[in-house]
């Protein structure tokens, strides 16, 4: 135990709330639909669900256990257990910084759309082409999206340094159910739009004929991204769990919440995409051009649009906080920086990289690497390489190196080992690592 007393979350419900706050975010509502749209819809969703169940759940349980067993940040946890494996923690910190940088950019877009809903009547425009033009116009502006990203970074920073955890917990408690209801209402509305059924079919009826190794990797990567696993964020969060917080229960609830939000987002987006004649493979702009098309068909469109984007801003904020916190905790505990200095280091670094990512969607879009602009590169490298690799190594570590007794204690503090333990062990030791290794090999084109 470190000499300094570490913070803890209030209890069982707050553990679920903060972990779900990290998991539920732009990954569910922005990234999931755009990837599903690019990767054939139903087949992508089916593979995604499979990945969540087979790899996602065991991995989240593993990360939580590492956190509750060590009460350390991601790097410190591995260092305490086995120094040779500490590089997994460093990979996680790197992934967190990179994801946070481009995540802030998209979070900034949601903030702009929130304000825009109040101050502009674009949202009432029924022409989908005008929403495409408005989005293009905004992200190619040289300074506006940059300022929004930096603003979002600063708000995240403020919350991290003021430690207003209680406020966040309370906000999540209200925001999450509201987001659920809003998504549900919009999904029903969207399905009832003319031509909506077509979109429903696209999203829910899998056509496996076009599935490639790339599709599978994208779905698996998205599962990790959405659940905030494979990079140690959940290790850090679990290190703050109060004693007695259930690792298994929290995992199941967070996974269920996160997956339901992704499902609802798909049900909201695709019927509207087909109804409005938007291309499902529009990429990162998909949600930003589809949502206004939905709102424009509603009475009091500005009101709904404002509320919805506000909820999205809050969902994004609870996710940026978790990424920021995991890096800040690392700098604070391993580098012995003050919390303020640690937080500033994270904010400044991600701010600079965020500026680059934002400009790469506009005036710097000409600078590419392997055919990706910087924004897409950050997105691809983290979700399709760093997270699956982190997941693979974490499974190997927990399956083969982590003391079984300690692992069992985290899962069954009352020593009543459940029947599912053997299935879980099998998944963590064999099935998860093997399937990830095979997936990597296929993607490298070796088979
Ligand atoms: N899970 C978040 C989302 O779906 O928006 C994104 C995220 C948060 C990824 C925290 C990774 C992380 F550590």
- Torsion angle, CA of 288/294/299/305, rounded to 10 degrees? -20
- Torsion angle, CA of 120/121/124/130, rounded to 10 degrees? -80
- Torsion angle, CA of 327/333/334/338, rounded to 10 degrees? 80
| Residue in 107, 272, 278, 110 with CA at minimum distance from that of residue 186 | 272
pLDDT score at 12: 74
Cβ–ligand 1 distance for 436 under 6 Å, the answer: no
pLDDT score at 122: 85
Helix pair 213-227, 247-276: axis angle to 10 deg: 120
Please give the distance, rounded to the nearest whole angstrom, from the Cα atom of residue 173 to the centre of ligand 1.
18
Cβ–ligand 1 distance for 323 under 6 Å, the answer: yes
Tokens of 395: 């499974």
Please give the distance, rounded to the nearest whole angstrom, from the Cα atom of residue 12 to the centre of ligand 1.
21
Residue 396 dihedral angles phi and psi, to the nearest 5°: -60, -40
Q: Measure the CA–CA gap between 37 and 280, rounded to whole angstroms.
A: 5
User: Which atom from ligand 1 is nearest to the alpha carbon of 30?
Assistant: 5
Nearest CA owner, ligand 1 atom 10 = 228
Please give the distance, rounded to the nearest whole angstrom, from the Cα atom of residue 226 to the centre of ligand 1.
5
Please give the distance, rounded to the nearest whole angstrom, from the Cα atom of residue 16 to the centre of ligand 1.
15
Please name the residues in contact with 94: beta carbons below 8 A apart, sequence gap of 6 or more: 386
Q: Measure the CA–CA gap between 437 and 322, rounded to whole angstroms.
A: 28
Helix (H, G, I), strand (E, B) or coil at 322: helix
pLDDT score at 213: 93
User: What HEC string does 72-100 produce?
Assistant: CCHHHHHHHHCHHHHHHHHHHHHHHHHHH
Please give the distance, rounded to the nearest whole angstrom, from the Cα atom of residue 164 to the centre of ligand 1.
20
Nearest CA owner, ligand 1 atom 9 = 228
Cβ–ligand 1 distance for 18 under 6 Å, the answer: no
User: Which atom from ligand 1 is nearest to the alpha carbon of 225?
Assistant: 9
Sign of CA dihedral 359, 362, 367, 369: positive
Cβ–ligand 1 distance for 231 under 6 Å, the answer: yes
Cβ–ligand 1 distance for 233 under 6 Å, the answer: yes
Q: 415: how many CB neighbours lie within 10 A of its CB?
A: 7
Q: Measure the CA–CA gap between 268 and 286, rounded to whole angstroms.
A: 12
CA 187 to chain centre: 21
Cβ–ligand 1 distance for 225 under 6 Å, the answer: yes
Nearest CA owner, ligand 1 atom 7 = 228
Cβ–ligand 1 distance for 32 under 6 Å, the answer: no
Q: 33: how many CB neighbours lie within 10 A of its CB?
A: 25
Q: Measure the CA–CA gap between 262 and 242, rounded to whole angstroms.
A: 29
Please give the distance, rounded to the nearest whole angstrom, from the Cα atom of residue 24 to the centre of ligand 1.
7
User: Which atom from ligand 1 is nearest to the alpha carbon of 23?
Assistant: 1
User: Which atom from ligand 1 is nearest to the alpha carbon of 25?
Assistant: 5
Element of type H or E holding 410: helix 404-411
Please give the distance, rounded to the nearest whole angstrom, from the Cα atom of residue 47 to the centre of ligand 1.
19
Cβ–ligand 1 distance for 322 under 6 Å, the answer: yes
- With the most atoms of ligand 1 within 8 angstroms of its CB, the residue from 21, 89, 99 to mutate is 99
Helix (H, G, I), strand (E, B) or coil at 362: coil
| Residue in 34, 143, 35, 146 with CA at minimum distance from that of residue 101 | 146
Tokens of 203: 């999203």
Helix (H, G, I), strand (E, B) or coil at 369: strand
Cβ–ligand 1 distance for 25 under 6 Å, the answer: yes
Q: Which residues in the chain come in under a pLDDT of 70?
A: 1-5, 164-165, 167, 446-447
Cβ–ligand 1 distance for 100 under 6 Å, the answer: no
User: Which atom from ligand 1 is nearest to the alpha carbon of 258?
Assistant: 4
Residue 271 dihedral angles phi and psi, to the nearest 5°: -60, -40
pLDDT score at 2: 45
Bridge partners for 369 per DSSP: 372
Contact 319, 27 (CB under 8 A): yes
Quickly list DSSP for 173-242. Answer: HHHHHHHHHHHHHHHHHHHTSTTHHHHHHHHHS--GGG--HHHHHHHHHHHHHHHT-SSSHHHHHHHTPP
């Amino acid at each position: 135990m470190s000499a300094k007393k570490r913070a803890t979350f209030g209890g069982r419900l707050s553990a679920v709330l903060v972990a779900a706050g990290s998991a539920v975010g732009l990954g569910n509502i922005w990234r999931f639909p755009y990837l599903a749209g690019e990767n054939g819809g139903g087949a992508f969703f089916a593979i995604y669900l499979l990945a969540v169940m087979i790899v996602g759940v065991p991995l989240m349980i593993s990360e939580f256990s590492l956190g509750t067993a060590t009460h350390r940040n991601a790097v410190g946890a591995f260092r305490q257990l086995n120094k040779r494996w500490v590089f997994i923690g460093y990979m996680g910190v790197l992934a967190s910084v990179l994801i946070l940088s481009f995540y802030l950019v998209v979070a900034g877009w949601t903030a702009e759309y929130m304000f825009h809903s109040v101050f502009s009547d674009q949202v009432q425009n029924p022409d989908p082409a005008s929403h495409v033009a408005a989005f293009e116009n905004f992200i190619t502006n040289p300074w506006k999206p940059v300022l929004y990203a930096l603003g979002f970074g600063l708000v995240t920073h403020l919350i991290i340094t003021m430690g207003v955890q209680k406020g966040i917990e309370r906000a999540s408690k209200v925001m999450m159910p509201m987001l659920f209801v809003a998504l549900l209402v919009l999904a029903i509305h969207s399905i009832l739009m003319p031509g909506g059924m077509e979109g429903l079919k696209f999203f829910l009826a899998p056509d496996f004929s076009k599935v490639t190794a790339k599709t599978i990797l994208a779905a698996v990567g998205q599962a990790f991204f959405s659940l905030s696993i494979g990079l140690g964020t959940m290790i850090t969060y679990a290190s703050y769990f109060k004693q007695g917080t259930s690792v298994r229960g929290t995992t199941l609830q967070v996974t269920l919440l996160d997956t339901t939000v992704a499902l609802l987002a798909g049900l909201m987006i695709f019927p509207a995409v087909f109804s409005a004649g938007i291309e499902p493979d529009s990429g990162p702009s998909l949600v930003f051009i589809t949502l206004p098309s939905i709102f424009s068909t509603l009475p009091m469109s500005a009101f709904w649009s404002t509320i919805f984007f506000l909820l999205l801003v809050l969902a994004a904020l609870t996710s940026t906080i978790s990424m920021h916190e995991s890096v800040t905790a690392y700098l604070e505990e391993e580098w012995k920086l003050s919390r303020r200095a640690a937080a500033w280091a994270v904010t400044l670094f991600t701010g600079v990289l965020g500026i680059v990512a934002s400009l790469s969607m506009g005036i710097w879009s000409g600078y590419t690497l392997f055919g990706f602009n910087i924004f897409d590169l950050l997105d691809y490298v983290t979700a399709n390489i760093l997270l699956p690799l982190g997941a693979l190594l974490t499974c190997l570590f927990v399956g083969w190196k982590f003391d079984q007794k300690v692992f069992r204690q985290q899962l069954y503090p009352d020593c009543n080992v459940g029947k599912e333990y053997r299935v879980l062990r099998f998944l963590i030791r064999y099935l998860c690592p093997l399937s990830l290794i095979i997936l990597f090999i296929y993607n490298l084109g070796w088979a």
